[in-house]
Amino acid sequence: MADIIFEEHEAHKGDVRLQMYRKRPAGIEGAPVLFLVHGSSFSARSSYDLDVPGHPGHSLMEAFAGYGYDVWTVDHEGYGRSTHTDSSSDIACGVEDLKVTAAVVEQVTGQASAIYFGQSSGALRAGAFANACPDRVTKIAFAALTYTGKDSPTLIKRAEKLEEWKNNSRRAVDEEYYRGVFTRDVTGLTIPELAAAAATSEMANGGGSVPNGTYYDMCAKLPLVDPAKITCPVLIVRGDHDGIATDADVIDFFSRLPHRDKQIVSIEGMAHNTQLGINRERFWHALRSFLEMPVRADHL
């Protein structure tokens, strides 16, 4: 594996500073850019570059930089080390974040478009960005995607607190909260130490609360992504124990994509957090295979 270089960058959205992180292989120029979009309850590095003491190998950034990708991510407004504001940091806010970070990526790498991956509400952020800025997205991959939210066990339960999400811009997160995230669908698919590691990471990178906007959006505003307007190749990864959406909802989204360059990969042994579970390398394999599919030939 090549040596990995870690960098930090900034993007600015008016008065809001967005903290960006980059891991790339040393000595490789022009590596394809993979941009990772985080979800509702984890900032960027807690999602994609998590250090779990005594249990290495949880960093998606590290893994894909090792495969030869130039991997970027960002703390969305109100998360991690980005500016904390009164905004609830909803999906629309996240799209604006991705617009300004895409400009930074282009300035640094010279690449005007990138591969995007989003997990949970990060999938909605990434998908809505692909709707708004299709020329910026060469391929897109989703995990823990929801489309309309119809019959979603997680969203039905979450909607019981709809007024709370609507009337408060932030909610508290701690080790017990993250333990619930990792076990709400099924137990045994993440290591016990993961919740403490996530809580420690969040406390080090911005504190013990996160914005509520995506929770409210997912309960009250779906659908937020139009699959008919996604024109690039698409991968959807679906764990067998993910209550954020039903199979029927995800297949409905898939059926509305306007082209044949699309895949659904269903993987056993995975719950909501595909990138952090004990079977994360199965997810990495699916994502890497999608990214490295040969370009279509139009003639011999």
Distance CA(210)–CA(283), nearest Å, equals 26
**Which tens digits make up the pLDDT trace of 254-295?**
999 999 999 999 999 999 999 999 999 999 999 999 999 998
Residue 259 and residue 296 in contact, taking contact as beta carbons nearer than 8 Å: no
Q: For residue 19, what are the β-bridge partners? A: 10
Q: Nearest Cα to 97, choosing from 108, 109, 117, 82? A: 82
Within 8 A by CB and 6+ apart from 128, the residues are: 91, 92, 94, 95, 224, 225
Tokens matching residue 131: 């709707």
Let me know if residue 129 belongs to a domain.
yes
Q: Can you give the pTM of this predicted structure?
A: 0.97
Tokens matching residue 144: 């823990």
Distance CA(205)–CA(201), nearest Å, equals 6
Domain extent, residue 40, equals 4-291
Let me know if residue 181 belongs to a domain.
yes
C-alpha dihedral over 37, 43, 44, 46, to 10 degrees?
Answer: -120
Within 8 A by CB and 6+ apart from 56, the residues are: none
Supply the CATH number for residue 250's domain: 3.40.50.1820
Let me know if residue 50 belongs to a domain.
yes
Q: What is the pLDDT of residue 194?
A: 95
Let me know if residue 71 belongs to a domain.
yes
Let me know if residue 297 belongs to a domain.
no
Total domains, the chain:
1
Q: Nearest Cα to 220, choosing from 266, 174, 155? A: 155
Residue 276 and residue 217 in contact, taking contact as beta carbons nearer than 8 Å: no
∠ CA(23), CA(29), CA(30), 5° rounding?
85
For 90-126, give the DSSP string. -HHHHHHHHHHHHHHHHHHHS-S-EEEEEETHHHHHH
Please give the chain's pLDDT, 300 residues, in tens. Answer: 669 999 999 999 999 999 999 999 998 889 999 999 999 999 999 999 999 999 999 999 999 999 999 999 999 999 999 999 999 999 999 999 999 999 999 999 999 999 999 999 999 999 999 999 999 999 999 999 999 999 999 999 999 999 998 999 999 999 999 999 999 999 999 999 999 999 999 998 777 899 999 999 999 999 999 999 999 999 999 999 999 999 999 999 999 999 999 999 999 999 999 999 999 999 999 999 999 999 888 877
Residue 48 and residue 36 in contact, taking contact as beta carbons nearer than 8 Å: yes
Let me know if residue 72 belongs to a domain.
yes
Let me know if residue 296 belongs to a domain.
no
Coil vs helix vs strand at 211 = strand
Q: What is the pLDDT of residue 1?
A: 60
Let me know if residue 113 belongs to a domain.
yes
Place of tokens 């022009």: 30
Coil vs helix vs strand at 5 = strand
